[in-house]
């Protein structure tokens, strides 16, 4: 029952097991999109905000599973990339609303260069859907909370399905993902404890390596817009190139730290911060002495990880916001659909 949740945002976070399973279901549009990708010259993925983070995650996924060099493009910065777009290009236009002005402008400019437009949208019958050569719906259902949550995991699921299909590889197992996301949601208690711990924080650093880096960016965006706490997502390896100077006694740091090939290096970056007094929150399958607070995630692998690990970040942002009394479903200064440049 939807009414058991205090906020649409929390309900939408909790809906994700079903959302992800639905988004992973095969459909003809995904096959068509994969066909276009197989014969494409350059591939771009355009988006803004959370949808841009999905494009960034997709870059790792497409490289890894399909050997495709996908170039993420910030919709508002698309000008720079136009010179590379031609009739051989495929532009994946990612937008929950399908009405974001910057995305529409980028798509119109790309189309004028001859590029094929494949949109990945959530709201049916949107302007973007109408203006695409092909449109794939992510099937997240209506997203009421201004902060994008379930639409992000639905975008990732859809993009991963496309990459796997383009590579002729089997799709992710929807039932398994449903269970993994359910299990990630069961860490709500730890995410809540972490959120309450961050109530009076002024800055939070969220760090990850590889594909976990854009997930860290997404977590930081959620913390900013829901809780109005300054948050920064960072590639873990970048810390010592400047931001480490910000770390002092009690500075909260969230490590997106699953047990894949990034684990050891991210731990050592965490140790560098801890040595300067950081309060370390670790998102990982297993505890580690380094973590002052551990938010467990289930054992997952490869493309499953970004979907699974963003869930505790969403919950963390939600609970920081709740502890601070922020207006969660409708953050100040923001609109659900940004129809002006």
Q: Where are the alpha helices (DSSP H) in 133-173?
A: 150-166
Q: Tell me if 269 contacts ligand F6R by CB under 6 A.
A: no
Nearer to ligand F6R, 98 or 298 (CB): 98
Q: Tell me if 97 contacts ligand F6R by CB under 6 A.
A: yes
Contacts to ligand F6R from residues 216-245, by CB under 6 A: 221, 225
| 316 in Cβ contact with 295 (< 8 Å) | yes
> Within 13 A of 56's CA, how many CA atoms are on the CB side?
22
Q: Tell me if 48 contacts ligand F6R by CB under 6 A.
A: yes
Q: Which stretch binds ligand F6R (CB under 6 A): 4-12, 26-34, 45-53, 310-318?
A: 45-53
Say how far apart CA 274 and CA 242 lie, in whole Å. 16
Contacts to ligand F6R from residues 98-117, by CB under 6 A: 100, 103
Q: Which stretch binds ligand F6R (CB under 6 A): 22-30, 43-51, 272-280, 283-291?
A: 43-51
Q: Which stretch binds ligand F6R (CB under 6 A): 46-54, 175-183, 228-236, 238-246?
A: 46-54
Q: How far is the CB of 127 from ligand F6R (least distance, A)?
A: 11
Q: Tell me if 96 contacts ligand F6R by CB under 6 A.
A: yes
| 153 in Cβ contact with 19 (< 8 Å) | yes
| 257 in Cβ contact with 289 (< 8 Å) | no
| 45 in Cβ contact with 181 (< 8 Å) | no
Say how far apart CA 30 and CA 53 lie, in whole Å. 20
Q: How far is the CB of 88 from ligand F6R (least distance, A)?
A: 25
Nearer to ligand F6R, 12 or 290 (CB): 12
For 82, counting Cβ atoms within 10 Å of its Cβ (0-12 exposed, 13-18 middle, 19+ buried), the class is: middle
Q: Tell me if 58 contacts ligand F6R by CB under 6 A.
A: no
Q: Tell me if 147 contacts ligand F6R by CB under 6 A.
A: yes
End-to-end CA distance of the chain: 38
Q: How far is the CB of 51 from ligand F6R (least distance, A)?
A: 4
| 180 in Cβ contact with 311 (< 8 Å) | no
Q: By CB under 6 A, name the binding residues for ligand F6R.
A: 48-51, 95-97, 100, 103, 147-148, 221, 225, 337-338
């Amino acid at each position: 029952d939807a009414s058991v949740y205090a906020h649409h945002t929390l309900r939408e976070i909790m809906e994700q097991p079903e959302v992800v399973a639905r988004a992973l279901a095969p459909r003809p549009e995904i096959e068509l999109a994969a066909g276009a990708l197989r014969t494409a010259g350059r591939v771009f993925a355009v988006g803004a905000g959370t949808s841009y983070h999905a494009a960034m995650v997709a870059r790792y996924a497409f490289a890894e599973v399909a050997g495709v060099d996908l170039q993420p493009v910030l919709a508002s910065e698309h000008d720079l990339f136009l010179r590379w777009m031609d009739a051989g290009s495929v532009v994946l236009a990612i937008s929950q609303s399908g009405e974001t002005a910057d995305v529409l402008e980028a798509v119109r400019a790309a189309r004028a260069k001859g590029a094929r437009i494949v949109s990945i949208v959530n709201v049916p019958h949107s302007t973007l859907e109408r203006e695409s050569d092909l449109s794939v719906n992510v099937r997240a259902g209506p997203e009421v909370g201004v902060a994008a949550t379930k639409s992000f995991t639905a975008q990732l699921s859809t993009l991963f399905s496309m990459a796997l299909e383009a590579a002729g590889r089997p799709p992710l197992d929807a039932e398994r993902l449903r269970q993994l996301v359910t299990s990630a949601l069961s860490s709500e208690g730890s995410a809540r404890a972490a959120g309450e711990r961050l109530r009076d924080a002024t800055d939070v650093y969220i760090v990850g390596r590889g594909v976990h880096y854009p997930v860290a960016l997404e977590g930081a965006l959620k913390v900013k817009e829901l809780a109005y706490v300054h948050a920064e997502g960072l590639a873990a390896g970048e810390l010592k190139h400047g931001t480490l100077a910000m770390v002092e006694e009690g500075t909260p740091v969230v490590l997106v730290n699953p047990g894949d090939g990034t684990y050891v290096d991210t731990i050592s970056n965490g140790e560098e911060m801890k040595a300067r007094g950081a309060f370390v929150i670790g998102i990982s399958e297993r505890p580690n002495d380094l973590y002052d607070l551990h938010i467990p995630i289930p054992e997952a692998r490869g493309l499953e990880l970004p979907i699974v690990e963003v869930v505790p970040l969403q919950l963390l942002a939600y609970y920081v916001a709740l502890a601070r009394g922020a207006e969660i479903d409708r953050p100040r200064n923001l609109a659900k659909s940004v129809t002006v440049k």
